[in-house]
Amino acid sequence: MTTGSLPLTRRGLSLCRWGLILVLAILPLQFLPMAASAENLNWLLLFAWSWLGPASLVIVVVGVFLTTAAPGPSPATGWGISFLALTAISKLWPVAVYMAELPHAFRSLLSPLAAVTLVLQFLLLFGLFASLGRSLATQASAGGAMWAAAPLWESLASRGKKLFSQALVCAIPWLLILAVGIAGVVGFPMVGPGGLLLGLLVAVWIGSAWGVWLLIRSIGLLAAMERALGPGPDSGRMISAPAGLRFATRFSAPAVLAAAIALLGVGANTWVGRTLATVYKPGIGSETVGTAAPTMEMHSIDGATLQLADLQGKVVVLNFWATWCGPCVAEIPDLVRLAAEIEQEGGVVIGISSEEPDAVRAFVAAQKIPYQMLTGSFYPAPFDRINSVPTTFIIDASGRIRKTMVGKRSYAEFRQAFDAVKSAAVVPHPVEALPAEPAAAVDRSAEAEAFP
């Protein structure tokens, strides 16, 4: 370990601390959909997970990268590079799945694998903090530049080791329940709705609360390590951070490469995820086909009220969309063409957005969209389980859902699906859904095109 890199380490710990603080600030927002009064705050949830989430990860990635400069050959370097490599792989793999249009089975595994990756990332972070504390304590004990802080660093190293051990225990229930979910997606028998599964779910809730507590304690540890690295009575003499080429020489080639790919992965993942327009709700799949559409009240952007049941006798193309969703906007011309053609064939196209009526009204006027537009959210099942927009349902004349289409579709696909439903040819499974299986055997939350 070189003392010239200690200022970089201090800055890295500071960035890690602020990144984790941002993560803690985002966590409460996931409970917004559970509150009926939060209907107008959906934009805040979307903003948090679309932008603040990636921003917090970028801050942590840069912080971890800076910490790899100080330990040199110590184990802390390995922990840091492992975290950066795992971040790179976990962010680029979903991008490859969608960009290469791999089979739906790969998409179904994205959600549980993303959750597993998140658990492992936190374990690697805790391991990095513990290993870094031990490395600095070793240097202080050897009479290096940190010699005055030797007793303090021994205490900090002990705290880091204890936190890592507790994080390992906390991760066990998470990894177990995620293993059950992955087994269901790939077709292996899942644990039934018995005591074991219920116990795992309870353990996950307890583990989640414990994990948040450990996260708060880790932020405190990072703050203490920063103070110990700074100038003061409890630390050694702090020297200036290296600059120019001297700055670059503090980092190993694997660390630079892993950090660069990790940042590239976060950016690509955010961009592709934004184009898929994820709405953070449980997924919807082929189990909706053949079920009766709910009797629900809908509100037009002009203030009129429409009952879905009033449309029985017509084939309804019900399109859930948003003005900020690129794929949604791209398919609107095809829906306009379809609406004009099926009007005389006993069909109707209806668009639904969860945005404010004024925003939708202005967009519709600017784009000159002729078919009826509605606004609102928190609709009854199965529409409450949409996890991506655009999502389109085709409802037959008797009021039953006959087709579910997740993601952008072309005019030809819309037309083919409408004709099939109109002629009473029931489509057994939509192309994007897995074959229907018993509810206990398939993780339905992964069946829609939701980006992790």
What's residue 43's pLDDT?
A: 58
What's residue 190's pLDDT?
A: 46
Reference 68, options 11, 150, 151; nearest CA is: 11
Give the pLDDT means over successive 10-residue stretches in the chain (452 positions): 70 93 81 46 63 90 89 78 94 80 64 82 93 86 68 89 91 74 53 52 74 92 87 52 56 90 89 53 58 83 84 90 81 92 91 87 90 82 76 90 85 91 58 36 33 34
Looking at the chain, the domain(s) classified CATH 3.40.30.10 span 286-446
Question: Distance between CA 124 and CA 140 in Å, rounded?
Answer: 24
pTM of the model: 0.59
**350 contacts 296 by C-beta, under 8 angstroms:** no
**318 contacts 311 by C-beta, under 8 angstroms:** no
What's residue 32's pLDDT?
A: 52
Class of 286-446 per CATH? alpha beta
Number of H helices, E strands in the chain: 12, 7
By three-state DSSP, how is residue 44 classified? helix
**259 contacts 65 by C-beta, under 8 angstroms:** yes
274: which 2 tokens? 């934004």
Reference 285, options 182, 179, 388; nearest CA is: 388
185: which 2 tokens? 């997606």
What's residue 38's pLDDT?
A: 43
